[in-house]
Amino acid sequence: MATATTADQTAEPVPADTDEENLTAVLLDPDTIERDEFNAREHDTEPDADLVNSVKAVGVQDPVSVRPRPDGTYGAFKGWRRSQAAQIANATAEAEGHPKRQIKAYVRADLVGRDAWTQFLSLIENHQRQGMSPKDTLKAAELSLIGMDEVEQKKAARALGVRRGTGRRLGRAQQLDDATLRRASAGGMDLEQIAQLAEVEDVPRAQDRLLKALARDEAQEGGGRGHWDQELALLKAEQDDRTARKEAVAALEKADIPLLPTHLAYGEKDTAHPLSELTTPLGRPLDEDNHKGCPGHSARLDDENQPLWYCADPAEYGHKVRPKPKPPKTAEDEEKAAERARTTACNRAWKAAAGPRKEFVTRLVRGIKALPEDAWRFALGVLLDLPHFYGKWAQRQESEDVAVFLGVKLPESPFERARLSDLVTLSKARTAHVLFAHVAAAFERDMREPKGWNDARMQVRFLWEDPTSQQAAYLLLLEKLGQDDKGSYRLSEVEEQAVAPHRGDDADGESAN
């Protein structure tokens, strides 16, 4: 299983166990060695015939690593299979005519009481050797990371190539079936990515889509995980939509309101009508309140998972259908239906794309490197030109997004006010980072909803097909910064669609609507 570092971790991985470089291996009787309770390998723990025969012939070549036990024995957390092979070889030595041998071992007294770090070192050892199952890897990584103090956890996470906090999510990844884990591992997913796969596994074709995104990242010059992050955001948006639908269906079931089927079998007539098309026998309009007592009271869910109220059979329950000529379905109707579906999909994708975008901005402004020149020049341009959207955002005095970008904790109580200038650590070296976080927060607020307003045309517009020149410049800037950072961020498909007409323009020099 690959354990490549994630995009926000630019430091070199630390050696797995530098302490053993300063130790001298000692000779131990193999019979005094038992399996350490925190050995990461729980499956395939027995030595195979080839290993046993090799040890009988030449002994154990590489030292094992053990911790002393109170009863005078030792617990092997690295090399337990080699230890067993040595025990088997010694047990048959006299009968088979080969010598009994002691085994070289690093005795790690410093690890007594440090169970989490011991399990992590065992994980690294076994993870680099052939045959450790993905489930063992996930379980050992989860238990070791959760059990460490903050300093050890940071060091271990960097060595494993995962983000801090991943240990809490690895437990769910262990619930993936063996076939899914094997395919994820063979496809190149690291521990972080397998944990993320587990979060969206219930979305249809989630693994296929993530594997394709991973392949696209690997095919790009510089690598990175921009395509992965965008696909993951889309899957989470779809998952949220599915969850919202389940909750809406559960609410209808709790209220004993039938949910009408969306599609009927061939030849079956749909007798249901929305209440907006019905009246009482005397012509009074029907709505949810005055129709609740009807046996045909039912519902369907719209694209936003909100209930639309229906009567299942108006003729049977004495309602009148408002006379309305039904025009024949035309090609134009089909085009409108397709456009509605496209709008729904683009709106969902636009909202989903905000997640990876904000994560990338967070990595930029919290990073230890100097902010790229393109970024701070862009921020200064906005501060000097004061476009209309920036002024509107400043008037709202919203500080939540800026605080999240900079990792500052705001008071939880809405009645407790605190100024960001008192909470943010200000220094000359970090000035550009803070300013860019401020400007980015204004853009994110301006682009939060997929609908906007076109002042020139005096009509509603969708940002995914008609962004302002400033919005397009902001997206193109992030795209360039992501490319310069080894592909750590890439625009989503819907953002690509939005900025396509603006490529090549000096968009950041134009005023925003």
pLDDT number for residue 357: 96
Least confident of 73-82, 157-166, 255-264, 430-439: 157-166
- Which of 45-59, 90-104, 178-192, 347-361 has the highest average model confidence (pLDDT)? 347-361
Residue 349: pLDDT above 60? Answer: yes
pLDDT number for residue 86: 94
pLDDT number for residue 165: 55
Neighbours of 60 (CB within 10 A): 21
| Tens-digit pLDDT profile for residues 260-317 | 998 888 888 999 999 999 998 888 899 999 999 999 999 999 988 999 999 999 999 9
pLDDT number for residue 49: 78
Question: Could you report how far apart the first and last alpha carbons of the chain are, in Å?
Answer: 49
pLDDT band for 170, please (50, 70, 90 cuts). Answer: low
Which three-class secondary structure string do you get for 283-341? CCECCHHHHCCCCCEEEEECCCCCEEEEECCCCCCCCEECCCCCCCCCHHHHHHHHHHH
| Tens-digit pLDDT profile for residues 219-249 | 887 778 899 999 999 999 999 999 999 999 9
492 Cβ neighbours under 8 A, 6+ residues apart: 230, 233, 234, 349, 352, 353, 356
Higher per-residue confidence, 103 vs 222: 103
pLDDT number for residue 134: 54
**CA geometry: angle 251, 257, 263, nearest 5 deg:** 95
Q: Which residues pair with 107 in a beta bridge?
A: 66
pLDDT band for 427, please (50, 70, 90 cuts). Answer: confident
In this prediction the pTM is: 0.58
The rounded distance, in Å, linking the Cα atoms of 111 and 118 is 6
Mean pLDDT in residue range 94-111 = 90
The rounded distance, in Å, linking the Cα atoms of 447 and 450 is 7
Residue 140: pLDDT above 60? Answer: no
**CA geometry: angle 460, 466, 471, nearest 5 deg:** 110
pLDDT number for residue 372: 95
Strands (E), 97-253: 103-107
Mean pLDDT in residue range 17-43 = 83
What are the counts of helices (DSSP H) followed by strands (DSSP E) for the chain?
A: 20, 12
Which helix (H) or strand (E) segment holds residue 270: the answer is none
Mean pLDDT in residue range 78-102 = 90
At 277, list the tokens: 């098309």
pLDDT number for residue 169: 58
Specify the pairing of strand 64-68 against strand 103-107: parallel
pLDDT band for 416, please (50, 70, 90 cuts). Answer: confident
pLDDT number for residue 368: 86
pLDDT number for residue 135: 52
Mean pLDDT in residue range 24-40 = 92
Q: What is the mean pLDDT of the chain?
A: 83
Higher per-residue confidence, 128 vs 21: 21
Mean pLDDT in residue range 369-373 = 94
At 294, list the tokens: 């009807």
Least confident of 9-23, 91-105, 123-137, 443-457: 9-23
The rounded distance, in Å, linking the Cα atoms of 437 and 480 is 17
pLDDT band for 377, please (50, 70, 90 cuts). Answer: very high
Mean pLDDT in residue range 182-203 = 85
pLDDT band for 398, please (50, 70, 90 cuts). Answer: confident
Mean pLDDT in residue range 493-509 = 79
Residue 48: pLDDT above 90? Answer: no
pLDDT number for residue 56: 85
Residue 211: pLDDT above 50? Answer: yes
DSSP-based three-state secondary structure for 361: helix
Please answer whether residues 309 and 287 qualify as being in contact, where contact means their C-beta atoms are separated by less than 8 angstroms: yes
Residue 60: pLDDT above 50? Answer: yes
Mean pLDDT in residue range 154-178 = 61
